[in-house]
Chain A
Amino acid sequence: MARTSERFPGVEWIGDTGVFIKIDEKKCTGCGNCLKVCLGGCFEIENKLARIRSLDECMECASCWYVCGEEAIDFSWPPGGTGYRSDWG
């Protein structure tokens, strides 16, 4: 079943991706860089540490992974046939 978003038209998210982005709480410093570059709003800060809010609007760009200087973010490709898709890229 495909999900859509009012904020991001023309895009669908397919199936259950599972948690393909993980944050290592021991490494996270709560700098918030992942929040600043994530256009899908996948992150939030709780108790001064970043946590995944929702991967429902993730476009798998891995910007969070790039900007995490502490290597606290582990990014993997979501399972085959799941996640973001669009006809208009």
Chain B
Amino acid sequence: MQQEYDVVVIGAGFGGPVAAKKCAGAGLKTLLLERSENPGEKVVSGLTIPIYGFLFGPPFIRDGNPPVERPVDGIRNYVIYDVKAGDIEIVEMRIPRPLSPIFAFGYNAYCKPFCTWEAEQAVNAGAELRTCTTVIDFIKEDGYIKGVVTDNGETIRSRIVINSEGSQGILAVKAGVRDKYPPQAISLADTYDYDCPKEVIDRVFGHTLRFCWGFDELKIAPPLGHGNGLMSWPYRNSIHWMQDQCLAMGDGYVPNLRRLFDEYHENITTQLPWWRDEIAPSAKLRARMWEGFEIFVGLDDRLRNMPNYTDGMILVGDTAGLESTGLCDGVPTAWFSADIAADVAIEAIRAMDFSAKFLERYNRRIKAHTIIQWAITNKGRWNLRKAQESHDRKELRARINHQFGPGILTHAGTPLVKSLLHAIRKDPLVIMKWARMFPRYYYNWEHECSSGDRRPIDKQKKRSSGIGWVLFDSLVILFSPVNWAAAWLLEPLAGVVNPLIKVFLPAVELGLGVSIRMEPLFSPVTRWMIDSVKQADPSTFSVSK
């Protein structure tokens, strides 16, 4: 049986539903295909979704109630010089109290509930979701992709295909859109999920990620000269733990990861003091999984510039090689690119032009996207290998600080400030939405709920913060012309932020350090802020559509 759609989206991971929702919302007949039974259950990730994904990504995520596992306030890096002698240095970057944990650096999440929630939003917007369906080929006519062929023999015609099948891009490679990525650019993420009581995680981790880095011979974190490492994420009642390593070294040598991962996992869980003494006694292994991701594709000019579109099809997210090379997250870039792909698909259908020449605007917009380009060209993690090769302690610490410590502000400052100003210039009232997002997410996390109808609303016991929000909104509205003008004036000057932070980095680091040390003084304020959000009427955080 042959079916016809305006848009077919392949893959209900993080990116696909974003594209499907936008296309369906624009009135297009949209089909979202997923090969697993439930969205997200084949996706593996150690997952902190950085805050810029929520601030500048799809409005339905920013203004909605996605299921998050824990707000994250920063990263604590363990720079391990000699684990047995306890020679370990800590490099920390985090948002100080009382701002955190309500104002978060990002949010941890399991893939399945998050992707399922996204797919539900797409379905609510009118998209059709079909699970248990694998795309095995494309319908090709006159050089154009005009639909897909599924594993049960269906041919589904569409005006345009948005391909978010995942980093491997099996279909995209077989269709000749882009080449297979070399193994040197692919990192294999060996991921463990540990069940652990919430009170232990609260005490040991709080809201801070813990990353471990070391020299090769320690066999603690698997660097093997490629800047790979070991990362652990606190979730609600569990800890996600991931070691990752590129599939091949620069010279093409393929390490025996099957043996090495087991060895490294054994070493770190028995030798690293905080894991061995504080976590191991109460943690129980619940799951072990792995997945490859295209960690260093963006750093190679040829790979980065491979086609991400063809006649009748657009590639998004990991399929287009948009994994962040620095923070090694792929979700925000998947959201941004899926959003852009949907815009281009809508424009193409209006113009009835699905040629590569028309779809080239997708590539232009990806190349012009400030955060995507920063994320996929950041060499901080790659360059860690230089310190690992040199065995220079000072250099190792400096490079970790540059990528996962306060030094990140010297390269993330400009793209973040520029995106912030750009968003305010486009809509000065977005500030009201950002201001509600943080407490809403925190409220949802505290109350273990993720959707509006599951919220335990008991207005008798809720504090009303209505007047405060009315006052805040009034000020934002009153000053919106000023904010718009300031954003319009300052956006072109955002390029000075990185050099300025570079000059003043010692002062920034000092300020952060002092703020963290002074946190006990602010604990009453922190408690008041948390209690206010926990006990608030959640309707005050909702954003009208």
B288 contacts A9, CB within 8 Å? yes
Please tell me if the beta carbons of B186 and A11 are within 8 angstroms of each other in the complex: no
Which listed residue, A78, A80, A89, touches B112 by the CB 8 Å rule? A89
A-facing residues in B134-158 (Cβ within 8 Å): 134-136, 150-152
Q: Are A85 and B36 in contact (CB under 8 A)?
A: yes
Which chain A residues border B286 with CB–CB below 8 Å?
9-10, 88
Bound-state Cα–Cα, A19 to B423, Å: 49
Inter-chain CA distance A67–B188, complex, in Å, is 12
B36 and A89 contacting across the interface, CB-CB below 8 Å: no
12 CB contacts below 8 A, A to B, read A36-B256, A65-B180, A67-B247, A76-B136, A80-B36, A80-B150, A81-B131, A84-B42, A88-B193, A88-B289, A89-B43, A89-B44
Contact present for A10 and B134 (CB under 8 Å): no
Q: Which B residues between 160 and 205 are near A, CB-CB below 8 angstroms?
A: 165, 168, 170-171, 180-183, 186, 188, 190-191, 193
User: Which chain B residues (100-139) contact chain A, with CB distance < 8 Å?
Assistant: 110-112, 131-136
Scan A47-89; emit 1 where CB is below 8 A from any B CB, else 0.
Answer: 0000000000001111101110100000111111101111111
List of 3 A-B pairs having minimum Cβ-Cβ separation, nearest first: A10-B287, A81-B132, A88-B287
10 further contact pairs, Cβ within 8 A, besides A88-B110, A89-B291: A9-B287, A11-B287, A41-B258, A61-B168, A61-B290, A62-B170, A75-B168, A77-B134, A81-B37, A86-B41
Q: How long is the Cα–Cα vector from A81 to B130 in the complex, in angstroms?
A: 11
With A85-B36, A88-B286, A89-B112 known to touch, is A35 a contact of B193 (CB < 8 Å)?
no
Tell me how far the C-beta of B319 lies from the nearest C-beta in chain A, rounded to whole angstroms: 13
Please tell me if B521 contacts chain A, counting CB pairs below 8 Å. Answer: no
Judge if A14 is at the interface, Cβ distance under 8 Å.
yes
- Given A36-B254, A59-B290, the answer on whether A89 and B151 have CB atoms closer than 8 Å is no
Q: Within 8 Å of chain B (Cβ to Cβ): is A45?
A: no
Q: Across the interface, do B42 and A80 meet the contact criterion of CB distance under 8 Å?
A: no
- Bound together, the chains give a CA A36 to CA B258 distance in angstroms of 6
Give Cα A86 to B111, complex, Å.
10
Pairwise interchain contact B254-A33, C-beta atoms closer than 8 A: yes
**Shortest Cβ distance from residue B58 to the other chain A in the assembled complex, whole angstroms:** 21
B positions within 8 Å CB-CB of A? 35-38, 40-45, 110-112, 131-136, 150-152, 165, 168, 170-171, 180-183, 186, 188, 190-191, 193, 238, 247-248, 252, 254-259, 261, 285-292
Taking CB atoms, residues of chain B closer than 8 Å to A61 are: 168, 188, 290-292
Q: Is the CB of A38 within 8 A of B258?
A: yes
In Å, the complex CA distance between A71 and B526 comes to 58
Residues from chain B with a CB closer than 8 A to the CB of A75 are: 168, 170
Q: Which residues of B contact A78 (CB under 8 A)?
A: 35, 134
Kindly count the residue-residue contacts between A and B in the assembled complex, taking CB atoms under 8 Å apart: 138
Cβ of B393 to closest chain A Cβ, rounded Å? 31
Q: How far is the CA of A69 from the CA of B183 in the complex (A)?
A: 9
Q: Are A66 and B42 in contact (CB under 8 A)?
A: no
Contacts of B287 in A (CB 8 A): 8-11, 86-88
Q: Quick one: closest A residue to B184, CB to CB?
A: A66
A80-B188 contact, Cβ under 8 Å, with A63-B247, A88-B287: no
Complex Cα gap A59–B287 (Å)? 13
A68 to chain B, nearest CB (A): 9
Q: Are A10 and B170 in contact (CB under 8 A)?
A: no
| A59 & B254 in contact (Cβ 8 Å cutoff) | no
Task: Report the minimum CB–CB distance from A58 to chain B (whole Å).
Answer: 11
Contacts of A41 in B (CB 8 A): 258
Q: How far is the CA of A89 from the CA of B285 in the complex (A)?
A: 13
Taking a contact as CB atoms under 8 Å apart, the answer to whether B257 and A39 are in contact is yes
CA of A62 to CA of B166, assembled, Å: 11
Q: Which residues of A contact B110 (CB under 8 A)?
A: 87-89
A26 to chain B, nearest CB (A): 19
B193 x A79 contact (CB < 8 A): no
A30 to B20, CA, bound (A): 44
Q: What is the bound-complex CA distance between A60 and B238, given in angstroms?
A: 25
CB within 8 Å for A63 and B292 given contacts A69-B252, A75-B168, A77-B136? yes
In the bound complex, do residue B188 and residue A63 qualify as a contact, i.e. CB atoms below 8 Å apart?
yes
- Report chain A residues within 8 Å CB of B186: 63, 66
Chain A 1-33 interface mask (CB, 8 Å, partner B; 1/0): 000000111110010000000000000000001
Q: A84: nearest residue on chain B (CB-CB)?
A: B42
Given the interface pairs A81-B37, A88-B193, the reply to whether A65 lies near B258 with Cβ below 8 Å is no
Report the Cα distance A59→B36, complex, angstroms.
13
A80 and B151 form a contact (CB under 8 A): yes
| Residues in chain B near residue A62, CB distance under 8 A | 168, 170, 292
Contacts of B151 in A (CB 8 A): 79-80
A39-B286 Cα distance, complex, nearest whole Å: 17
Asked if A66 and B133 sit within 8 Å, CB to CB, the answer is no
Q: What residues of chain B lie closer than 8 Å to A87, measured between beta carbons? A: 41, 110, 112, 287
Q: In the complex where A35-B258, A36-B254, A76-B170 touch, is A59 in contact with B112 (Cβ < 8 A)? A: no
Taken together as a complex, chains A and B put the C-alpha atoms of A37 and B259 apart, in Å, by 9
Please give, as numbers and ranges, the residues of chain A lying within 8 Å of B257 by CB-CB distance: 36-37, 39, 63
Contacts of B290 in A (CB 8 A): 39, 59, 61
8 Å CB contact of A80 from B40, B152, B193, B289: B152
A9 vs B45: C-alpha distance when bound (angstroms): 16
Residue among B171, B188, B289 making CB contact with A10, cutoff 8 Å? B289
